[in-house]
C-alpha cells in the first residue's frame, strides 16, 4: 500500500447518503473526512438526486481518491426504498466520472471489517473505531458505513483483489 492513498466510500440513500474518506498512512489508516449528504423530503426527487450528485462530485474533487466504494443494494422487502436507493447509486456512479469503483454488499463489508458477515452494526462501528484510531464510535450510522466501505477498498488494494475496476 502506498502511503497517502485515499479512498472514498458511499452508503447510498435518497434522504441520507453516508460517506467516509480514508487515507493509508505509515501507521495504518486514518479517517480524513466523513459525514452525510442529506436531502429534504419536500424537494422533488430529481432535485434531491442532483444535490447528491453535486455534493459527491465536491467530495471527489476535494479529496482526489484513487477509488470509490459504493454499497450494493441488498434484497429489501420494500420495493420503493430499493428503487430510491438504486437511483441514488446510479447518481453516485455518474459522479465517479471514470474513477475505479467497487461495489460491496452489506455482508461483504461486515465480513471484511469484523471477520463475520452477520456482525451487528455496533460491532462494525467498534472495529472502525479501532482500525481508524478514532476517539469515539463513528456516528451517524450512514457515515460509519461510508468509512467501512472506504476501508474495504483499501483492504482490497493491499490484498489479492488488486484489480483497478472490480465492480462486484
Radius of gyration, CA atoms only, the chain: 15
Q: Minimal CA–CA distance to 29: which of 9, 12, 13, 10?
A: 9
Mind telling me the catalytic residues?
Answer: 11, 71, 142
Q: How far apart are CA 21 and CA 16, in angstroms?
A: 17
The residues facing 10 across adjacent strands are 19, 70
All three cell numbers of 119: 456482525
Amino acid at each position: 500500500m502506498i502511503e497517502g492513498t485515499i479512498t472514498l466510500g458511499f452508503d447510498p440513500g435518497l434522504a441520507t447518503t453516508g460517506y467516509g474518506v480514508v487515507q493509508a498512512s505509515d501507521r495504518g489508516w486514518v479517517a480524513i473526512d466523513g459525514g452525510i449528504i442529506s436531502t429534504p423530503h419536500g424537494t422533488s426527487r430529481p432535485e434531491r438526486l442532483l444535490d447528491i450528485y453535486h455534493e459527491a462530485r465536491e467530495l471527489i474533487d476535494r479529496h482526489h481518491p484513487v477509488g470509490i466504494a459504493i454499497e450494493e443494494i441488498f434484497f429489501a422487502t420494500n420495493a420503493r426504498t430499493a428503487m430510491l436507493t438504486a437511483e441514488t447509486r446510479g447518481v453516485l456512479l455518474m459522479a465517479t466520472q471514470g474513477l475505479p469503483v467497487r461495489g460491496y454488499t452489506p455482508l461483504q463489508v461486515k465480513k471484511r471489517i469484523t471477520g463475520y458477515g452477520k456482525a451487528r452494526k455496533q460491532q462494525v462501528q467498534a472495529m472502525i473505531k479501532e482500525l481508524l484510531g478514532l476517539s469515539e464510535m463513528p456516528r451517524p450510522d450512514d457515515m460509519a458505513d461510508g468509512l467501512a466501505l472506504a476501508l474495504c477498498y483499501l483492504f482490497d488494494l493491499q490484498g489479492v483483489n488488486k484489480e483497478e475496476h472490480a465492480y462486484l
